[in-house]
Structure formats: C-alpha cells, structure tokens
Amino acid sequence: MKLIFEKSREGLGCTILPPCDVPAAPLPEGMARKKPARLPSLDENQISRHYSALAKRVFGVNDGFYPLGSCTMKYNPKMNEELAGLPGFTDIHPLQPEHTVQGCLKVLDLAAGYLREITGMDAVNFQPAAGAHGELTGLLLIKAGHESRGDAARTKIIVPDSAHGTNPASAVMAGFSVVNIPSGPDGCIDLAALKAVTGPDTAGLMLTNPNTLGLFDPNILEITRIIHEAGGLNYYDGANLNAIAGIVRPGDMGFDVVHLNLHKTFSTPHGGGGPGSGAVGCKEALAPFLPLAGNVMERGAEERPQCIGRVRAFGGNFLVVVRAAAYLLTLGKENIPEIARNAVLNANYMMERLRAKLPPAYPGPCMHEFVLSLEKLKADYGVSALDFAKALQDQRSCPGIHPPTIYFPLIVHEALMVEPTETESRETIDDAADAFLAVYDQALTDSESLRAAPRTAVIGRPDEVKAARQPVVRFHGA
Ligand SMILES: *Cc1c(COP(=O)(O)O)cnc(C)c1O
C-alpha cells in the first residue's frame, strides 16, 4: 500500500473550510515557517479511501478473537465510548473554575469510590497514564513512606520471576535494586526463597497476581505477612484485575499499594498507544504521599506537604475514568463479580479443550489466562511458538483470530500465553480451540507449511529486531 505522500499530486486538494471572515493576523516575527510545510495534496475522496484502507489492515477486538495473554483485549461496551464523548466531559479545561466542573468532579469521586471498594484501598489516584506508570508511582509511595520514618536502609524490592516484565523495570526506575526470586515447580512463590532474601533492607515486594502463568498464589496471605513482619510493604500489580474483581480484594490480602489498568479491565479500548490510566490505590498510611493534580480536580493540596510531586499533568486521562465509571455503574455491585467469574471460566474452558494435545505448562486450574509450552513440539517437529502463532492467522475455521502472546513469560520455553477474556462466547472459544488444534495437527503432518505461515495476512514475518532498532517513522522520499 502506498503512503499518503506517495499518493499526493500537486494541485489536488480539498477546501472544506468556508472563506475566512475575520481579518488575517500576521504571525509574530520569527514564528513563521521559512519553507511551507510538506503536506500531501489529495482530494477528499482519496483521503477518505486512504484511511479506510489503513483501517482495514488493522486487527482489533471488533474484528475477531484476540487472546493476547496479559493484555485483556476484551469487548468494551460502545455506550461507554458515547458517554465519554459527551461535550460536558470533552469540552472542559483543567484550569476551569471549580463551580463549572461539578459534574466532572462527581464522576471522579464516584469512580474513585468504586475502585476503593473493589481494591480494598483507602485512597485512589488517577494521575498515572498507564500500568507501568502506576507501578512507578506506587513504588515512589513506598519509598516516601520508608523515608518519612527516617528509614533509608530499605533499598531492595523483591520481584518473583513470574512477575510482569514491567515490575523489575519500574523498581529500578524508582531507584531500588531488584532481588529476583524463583518460582517453585507449582509456578508460585517459593516461600523458603522469599524468607531467605527478606530483611531490614527490604523496601517491599511486588507481586503480579495472578502471576504471568495465570496462577493465583495460594500462599498469598503468608507472603504478605512475611514482608510486613520484616518491615516491608506489599505492592499488588492489579493490571489484570478482571481475574479477581468483586471476588477478593488486594487490600484484604495484606497489600499496601495497588495499580489497576483501567485500559484493560475497566472499559477503555487499548493497543496502539493509549490513552490509558494506571490508577493507583493505597492504604491510609501512604495516602499523604500521593501525587497532586495541581488544580480543582484535587482538593486538599495544602494538607499534603509530603506528596511525591506530579507524575503527569493535572488529573491524568480523565475520559478513561469516565468510561470506567460508566462501566461500573452499568454493571452494578452485584454484577462486578461476573467479570472475574467469566474470565476464569472462559480461560479454564479453553485450556481444557486444548489439554489433550496442548497441555498447559503448569498444573492446576488457571485464573483469567493460561500458558502453553511448545518445547516438545519444537523438539519433535521443529515447530516453534512463532510458527504456531503465524499459522493461527491462516486458520479458516476461525477467521480473524489474533495469535496469543508468545515467548512470554520468559520462564516458559516456547510459550503461548492465552487470555480469552470474559466477553467471548462459548461458540467463539470453541472455534478458536478448533483452530489451535488444527494447527497442532498440521504441525505433526506438514510442519514445513507452518514455517511458511502466514499466507493470508497482510504482512508475513517482518524483521522484528530491525523494526525495533531502526524504525522508519518518517517519509524521506520525493
Ligand atoms: C499490561 C500489564 C502491565 C503494564 O501496563 P501498561 O499499561 O502497558 O504500562 C503491568 N503488569 C501487568 C500484569 C500487565 O498485564
């Protein structure tokens, strides 16, 4: 497909704006461009076709099953989009006087209240823009908490090897050193290993729960107790709250800080760069350190001299919070547990449908997602997780299936990480399971064809390293 610049032809264009009816004002000296901007010239029809063609090359949850493990690519009710698009929410400015934004303040209060109740925390803050940003913010709270007691010795954050990759990265960004602990054969924290590294230098523990294997740690109360007894604090990575929402609460399990991904669990579509919201919740003791919005969105600023500062402008991505509030209000308290029940049911159903040919990497039931290892398939038939994922795209029994997450978590070789999500029907999951099983059968009989997959996708196998290291994001042509 040609770039819009390549389609451009001098002289074409479209004038959809009426003639200017106010006097033209010259730009201040030095502010004007020396050369005109190089913008493409196309007529309106061509522009429309160009963007329609681009949109058709994209795969999203509206196109088909999207079991991208850890990402919760679920259906988000369109009504929440409409509500977040109401002019009363979109046409405001963060510095407007307080009496003109009472409705918006009410939405923020509502959403914070519901999320406090769902997480079991005492305070919720919407400033962080995404999950990893919420992690950084939460860890800065932990740091500020220890420092406020004059305890500077707590420099280490314990992170299990089954944590999401952002956890250790955020700990380093917050100025901690990371102590990695291995999982046991059951995929959960090895308590002896945890005790061995916990001590007076422990600032806290970061737990992704369910972990990246899709497992809920059965020793969670013992784990948080060990950390608290050593004087540390517990951080709950709640990016995948769809696994537990309305069933159990991090605040009741001994956690002091939690972040949520409103753009996963709470009805903001994501992928493609945002906007998101990594809402952070914490217990009373850490609330004085929460970031301040610096405007009417946040009252009581003068009472929080210990605040860690701002992590983003104003109150964060407000419209993401509007969607979350709309979603929670629609569900109501009695239906929120259905999120978790369906997420867990769907994942276990699909895992069982695959088990005979594609057994999970760890035993036991899973939570909202499960992980397969294709190590044996690779050893016996030379079919890798990448080949498998690419071949899924060609499966006609389930048109428009997006491959699952591959090569993550790192502790599973040739991993496929599958998250069907709570919004898929049994029929769709059956079709997807059939597609997985068909690819498996094909691997046994015709592995060569898998290595040539995909045949039907718009692009086949781009050089991912080159795309990441030498991205071409500018048009250099004529
Ligand atoms: C997605 C995810 C994150 C990171 O969230 P971003 O919004 O991508 O920064 C962190 N932890 C877990 C468990 C996740 O699934």
* Mean confidence (pLDDT) of the chain: 94
28-42, 126-140, 395-409: segment of lowest average pLDDT = 395-409
Q: Which of 68, 70, 167, 263, when mutated, tests ligand 1's pocket best, judged by the most ligand atoms within 8 Å of its CB?
A: 70
Closest-lying ligand 1 atom to the alpha carbon of residue 264: 1
Q: Is the previous residue joined to 18 through a cis bond, with omega within 30 degrees of 0?
A: no
Residue 444, pLDDT score: 97
Residue 295, pLDDT score: 64
- Residues 401 and 65: beta-carbon distance below 8 Å: yes
List the Cα angle 73/119/82 in 5-degree steps. 45
Residue 412, pLDDT score: 96
Residue ID of nearest Cα to ligand 1 atom 6: 131
Residue 15, pLDDT score: 78
206-220, 267-281, 386-400: segment of lowest average pLDDT = 386-400
Residue 450, pLDDT score: 95
In this structure, the residues whose C-beta lies within 6 A of any atom of ligand 1 are 70, 130-132, 164, 166, 208, 237, 239-240, 261, 276, 278
Closest-lying ligand 1 atom to the alpha carbon of residue 72: 15
- What is the rounded distance in angstroms from the CA atom of residue 47 to the CA atom of residue 49? 5
C-alpha of residue 162 to centroid of ligand 1, in Å: 13
Residue 112, pLDDT score: 96
Confidence band for 136, pLDDT divided at 50, 70 and 90:
very high
Closest-lying ligand 1 atom to the alpha carbon of residue 263: 7
- Percent of the chain at pLDDT > 70 equals 97
Name which of 391, 397, 114, 423 is nearest 267 in CA terms. Answer: 423
pLDDT in tens, 432-473: 999 999 999 999 999 999 999 999 888 889 998 998 999 988
Question: Could you identify the residue written with the tokens 């380093």?
Answer: 172
Name which of 436, 408, 410, 439 is nearest 351 in CA terms. Answer: 436
pLDDT in tens, 165-175: 999 999 999 99
Residue 14, pLDDT score: 82
Average pLDDT score over residue span 79-95:
95
pLDDT in tens, 370-393: 999 999 999 999 999 999 999 999
Average pLDDT score over residue span 78-98:
95
Residue ID of nearest Cα to ligand 1 atom 4: 131
Question: Could you identify the residue written with the tokens 């923020």?
Answer: 108
pLDDT in tens, 420-433: 999 999 999 999 99
- What is the rounded distance in angstroms from the CA atom of residue 226 to the CA atom of residue 234? 10
Residue 397, pLDDT score: 63
C-alpha of residue 445 to centroid of ligand 1, in Å: 38
Give me the torsion for CA of 430, 409, 412, 348, rounded to 10°. -30
Q: Over 90: is that where the pLDDT of 415 sits?
A: yes
- Residues 359 and 422: beta-carbon distance below 8 Å: no
pLDDT in tens, 26-80: 899 899 899 988 889 999 999 999 999 998 888 889 889 999 999 999 999 999 9
Q: Which residues pair with 406 in a beta bridge?
A: 416
Q: Over 60: is that where the pLDDT of 478 sits?
A: no
Domains in the chain, CATH or no CATH each: 1-15+41-57 (no CATH), 79-328 (3.40.640.10), 370-418+423-468 (3.90.1150.10)
Q: Over 60: is that where the pLDDT of 272 sits?
A: yes
Confidence band for 399, pLDDT divided at 50, 70 and 90:
low
pLDDT in tens, 294-344: 666 665 556 678 999 999 998 899 999 999 999 999 999 999 999 999 999
